[in-house]
Structure 1
Amino acid sequence: MKRYDAIIIGFGKGGKTLASDMASRGLKVAVVEKSEKMYGGTCINVGCIPTKYLILEAAKNKYKNYTSFVQYKDEYRRIIENKISLISTFRKKNFDNLDSKENIEIFTGEGSFVDAHTVEVKSKDRTFNIVGDKIFINTGAQTFYPPIKGLKESSYIYDSEGIMELKELPRSLVIIGGGYIGLEYAGMYKNFGSEVTVLEGSPVFMPREDKEIAEEVKKVMQNKGIDIRLGVKVTEIDGNTVIFEKDGKKDSLSADAILVAVGRKPNTEHLKLENAGVKVDERGAIVVDERLHTTQTNIWVLGDVHGGPQFTYTSLDDYRIVKSELFGKGEYTLKDRHVIPYTVFLEPQFSRVGLTEEEAIKNGYEIKTSKMTPASPRMKISDETEGLLKVVVDAKTDKILGASLFIAQSGEVINTIALAMRTNQNYQVLRDGIYTHPTVTEILNDLFGGLELL
C-alpha cells in the first residue's frame, strides 16, 4: 500500500495549486480524480471557461443577420466543435502540469474514505488503497435536481454541463430556474438563435440583488426576446413538455431541450465521509473551521464542497489559507476573507460587491447612493449603453459599502471597486481617480461624483 505525504481528492483549482506547491517542496503527493474529462476541475472543463467562450461566441451572432434557423444551427455546431478542442487543450495542459512533476502521482478513479488516513481508489480496471498523512477534499459541486415527477425519465433534460455537449442547436429551450446559471444560459442560447423561456419559482426576479438593478436586468433580457415567467411551480415533466402552475392555473410548454438550473450542491455522495469521521451540515456541505479543517484535523477541504461561494477564485483563496497554515505563520483564515466580488456574464455583464441599498439600510447604516446609466464616451463609441450602475456609501464615514454594475465589461470595473473596499479607501479615491480615456473604468469618476450632488 503506497503512502503519501498528502492525498488530494479532486483536480480543482485549489487542489491542483496545492499539489504543485507541495511537490515543489519535496513532499510526495497523490491526486485522485474521478473522471479523465475533469483534469483541471470544473472551471476549465464544464464551468467558467467553456461557458464564457460560448457566451462570447453567441454574442457575435447578433451581428451576422442570419435569415434562417439552419444558419444558426451550422454556426452553433462549428462553435461547439471549437469549444471541445479548446477545452481538450486546457485539460491536457493541466494534466501535464502535474504529471510532469516528480513528486506527484495522478490516479484516475473514484476516491472514497476507508478511514481518516486511507483512501480507496476505484479505477476502470482495479481497486486499491492509498494512505496519506494529510488529505484534502476538492471535489466541487454538482447539479441539484429537484423532485419533479418525470424529470429523471425524460431524455430532453439537461444540466448546465450536459447541454454544452449538444452539437445540435435546440430551436426552443425551457430553463427551469432563474438564478445566475439559468440567466447566463438564457442570454447565450437566445443569441445562438433559440427561443428561450425561463421558469422561476420566486415571484421576485433576482431576489438577492438591488431591486432597481434587477428590474433593469429583467427589462433588458425581455427586450431581447427572452420569455421570463416568475412565480412558477413546475409540477411534472412529460417527455419534452414542462407542466407547471402559475397563479393557481395549470399551463405547459414543449421544447427541444429542457435545462435544469435551480442550483448546485456539494459533491460528497461517493466519498464515504462517515468512514473518516467527517461531518456534513444540513445542506450536505462538509463542515470546516476557519482554517478549512474538517472534524478530522488531518483532513482539509477546498472549494465548493464546503458550501462557501462557488467561485474558482475562492477555491484558489482556500489554497492560500491552507498554505498559510502549512508553510507560513497561519495568519490567514476564512475570517480574514472579505469583499468578494462576482460577475454574471449576461449581456451586458452584471457584477456585484458588498451590500445592496436594502441590505445596508437593514444593517443600520446611514447611507447615500449614486446611480447612473452607462452614458460614458467608451459606451457610446461601442454602442453599449444598456444597463444601470449603483453604488452605496456610508454617509458618516465615506466608506464604500457596495456596488451593483449592470454594464458592458462590469467584470473588470468591479475589481477596482472591490480593491478600494478591501483597502478601506474612502469613495473619493475612485471619484478622483485618473483613468485612461476612453475606457469603461473612467465611468467611476461620474458614478462616485454623483454622491457630491446629494
Structure 2
Amino acid sequence: MSDYSCDALIIGSGQAGNPLAKALAEAGQTVILVEEAHLGGSCLNYGCVPTKTMLASAERMHQVCTADALGIRLGGVAQVDMPAVVARKDALLEKSRRGLRESLAPKHDNITVLHGQAAFVAPRKVRVQETATQTSEITAKQVFINTGTRAAIPDVPGLADVDYLTTTELLDVQEVPEHLLILGGGYIGLEFGQMFRRFGSRVTIIDTGSQVLEREDDDVCECLQTSLEADGIEFFLDAKARHVSRSAAGQLTITLDTKHGERRLHGTHLLVATGRQPNSDQLNLAVTGIKTDEKGYIQVDSRLQTNVRGVYALGDVHGGPQFTHLSYDDFRVVRDNLLHQGPRRSAKQRPLPYCVFTDPQLGRIGLSETQAKDAGVAYRVAKIPLHILSRAQHTGQHTGFWKVLVGADDRILGAALLGPEAGDIMTILQVAMAGRLRYQQLQNMVIAHPIWAEGLNVVWRDLK
C-alpha cells in the first residue's frame, strides 16, 4: 500500500475536475487526481464529443440523401460505412484523451494522476484500489468530488436478461441496427434516434410521458416530434414498458401498457435512455457524513461545499441540470472562491443555456412560456415561423420557429428556438439578456444580410 498526502484530492476527471487540478497546481498546491476509467469524464468519452462527432456523420448522410431537393443529382445509393463512422469518432477521442493526459501530468509537477476506484475511509481520507493487489491511501486538506453520473436502468421485468445498450455501447456498434427500439424520449433518446434513423435504422421511441422533452413548451415538443416523424421515427407515448424478452433467433420484444391497451413491439437493438443516476454509491459516503438526497445526489451549498467542511462536489454528481458547460462553471465557482480575491461567486441562479442537437436544433435560454405562467411572470411573446426568414428560403430549411419572451420592461426573459444554428442564435439572445438590452435594440440593429441572425430584426414584428 502506498500512502499520499496532498493539499487537494480530486475524485473524477470530468469537466470540472481537470481545470480545477490545473488551477490549484498553478497556485502552488499539491494535487492528486483519481480517475477510475478514461480521463475526461462523460463529455469527452461518451457524451458530447463522441455523440456530436457521429451526429455530424448522420447529418452529412441526410444532406446527401436530400440533395435532389436542391437540384443535385448524385446517382446511385448512398451507404453508411459504420466501422468508418466509429473509427472517425475513436480517432478524435484518442486525440482528445492524449491532449488531456499531456496537459495534466507530467506537464504540471504538482499534479499526480492515479487510476482506480476511490472510496472514503474518513471525511478527508480516501483509499484507491488501483489494481487487484495495489491500493493507495490519500489524506487531503480538501476533497473535490467530480464523479458524474451513469445511465439509470429502469426496473423492467426481463430487461436484465437481454443485451440492452446504453449510449456508451451504442457509440461503438459496428453495424447499422435494423430496428432500434429506444426507451426514453428525452434529449438523449431523440438525438440518438434521429442519428440512427439517418444511418438507415428503423427507429421506435417509447416514453411514459405524454410528449417528448416533457419539460419544454407544448409547441416546441409538437414541432420537434412532427419533424422527427417526418424523418420516419415512430413514437409510443404514454406507454410503460411491462416486459422485455429476446427470442432464440435474437428478436427483441417489448410489451407495453398504453392508453389503448397492450402493445408488443419487436426490434433488433434496444437503447435504454431513461435518465441518469449519480456515481456516489461506490464512494462509501456513509463514513464521512456527507448528505445526499433520496436519489444519491450530493447536497451542496451555493459555493458547492457539502455539509462536511473541506469537501466539495462539482458537476453532475450534485444534481440539477446536467450539462458540460455548467460543470465547467462549477470549476470557476470553486476556483474563484478559493483562489481569487473579490466578491464570492455562487452556483445558484445562474443562466441555463442549452441545446438539443436534433434537426431542427433546439436552443433554450431563460424562462420558457410554461415557466413564466407557473411563476406568475408578466410576459409577451414574439414568435415567427422559420420559413419567413430569407436564409431559410435560400437553404430550403423551413422547419421550426423562433419564440422569445419579453417582459413588461421590454427586456428579454427567455427564448426557445427551433431551427438551424439555433444554439448560436440563442447565445446572441443570452448576451443581450446579460447586457439587459431591450428588444428594440436588436430589432433596430444593423445585421448582415442574409444570415440566420438577421431574424433578430424580424422576430419582434407581431409583438404587442
Q: For this structure pair, what is the TM-score category when the shorter chain's length is used for normalisation? A: over 0.9
Equivalents in 2 of 1:421, 1:113: separation in Å?
Answer: 43
- Report the TM-score when normalising by structure 1: 0.95
Residue of structure 2 equivalent to 1:331:
343
1:49 counterpart letter in structure 2:
V
- Pick from 95, 106, 113: which aligns with 2:101? 95
Query: Deviation string for 1:272-309 (max 9, x for gaps)?
Result: 11112211011211010111001111101110000021
Work out whether 1:207 is the aligned partner of 2:220.
Answer: no
- Pick from 7, 29, 50: which aligns with 1:27? 29
Offset, 1:450:
3.3
Identity %, equivalent residues: 33
Query: Is residue 4–residue 136 contact of structure 2 (8 Å, CA) maintained in 1?
Result: no
Q: Secondary structure at the match of 1:152?
A: helix
Offset, 1:335:
5.4
Residue of structure 1 equivalent to 2:71:
none
Query: Is residue 146–residue 317 contact of structure 2 (8 Å, CA) maintained in 1?
Result: yes
Equivalents in 2 of 1:336, 1:119: separation in Å?
Answer: 29
Structure 1 residues 124 and 101: CA distance shift in structure 2, 3 A? same
- Pick from 366, 389, 404: which aligns with 2:402? 389
Residue of structure 2 equivalent to 1:280:
292
- Pick from 197, 201, 218: which aligns with 2:204? 197
Residue of structure 2 equivalent to 1:85:
91
Equivalents in 1 of 2:51, 2:423: separation in Å?
Answer: 15
Query: Deviation string for 1:148-175 (max 9, x for gaps)?
Result: 01111101x1111111011111111000
2:6 counterpart letter in structure 1:
Y
- Pick from 448, 452, 462: which aligns with 1:436? 448
Residue of structure 1 equivalent to 2:147:
139
Equivalents in 2 of 1:415, 1:64: separation in Å?
Answer: 29
Query: Deviation string for 1:87-113 (max 9, x for gaps)?
Result: 111111111110121110100101111
Work out whether 1:356 is the aligned partner of 2:368.
Answer: yes
Residue of structure 2 equivalent to 1:41:
41
Equivalents in 1 of 2:378, 2:320: separation in Å?
Answer: 29
Residue of structure 2 equivalent to 1:177:
184
Offset, 1:449:
3.7
Q: Which deviates more, 229-238 or 417-426? A: 417-426
1:392 counterpart letter in structure 2:
L
Residue of structure 1 equivalent to 2:137:
129
Residue of structure 2 equivalent to 1:296:
308
Query: Is residue 333–residue 347 contact of structure 2 (8 Å, CA) maintained in 1?
Result: no
Query: Deviation string for 1:167-186 (max 9, x for gaps)?
Result: 11111100001011111111
Q: Which runs of 4+ in 1 moved over 6 A?
A: 66-69
Offset, 1:336:
5.2
1:110 counterpart letter in structure 2:
Q
Query: Is residue 6–residue 135 contact of structure 1 (8 Å, CA) maintained in 2?
Result: yes
Q: Number of aligned residue pairs: give it.
A: 446
Offset, 1:384:
1.4
Residue of structure 2 equivalent to 1:60:
60
Q: Which deviates more, 202-211 or 137-146? A: 202-211
Query: Deviation string for 1:233-262 (max 9, x for gaps)?
Result: 101110221111111511111212100011
Q: Which deviates more, 10-19 or 264-273? A: 264-273
Q: Secondary structure at the match of 2:363?
A: strand
Structure 1 residues 368 and 4: CA distance shift in structure 2, 3 A? same
Q: Secondary structure at the match of 1:53?
A: helix
Offset, 1:328:
1.9
Residue of structure 2 equivalent to 1:417:
429
Equivalents in 2 of 1:389, 1:233: separation in Å?
Answer: 33
Q: Secondary structure at the match of 1:205?
A: coil
Q: Secondary structure at the match of 1:182?
A: helix
- Pick from 147, 150, 156: which aligns with 1:148? 156
Equivalents in 2 of 1:63, 1:298: separation in Å?
Answer: 52
Offset, 1:202:
0.8
- Report the TM-score when normalising by structure 2: 0.93
1:387 counterpart letter in structure 2:
G
Offset, 1:68:
9.9
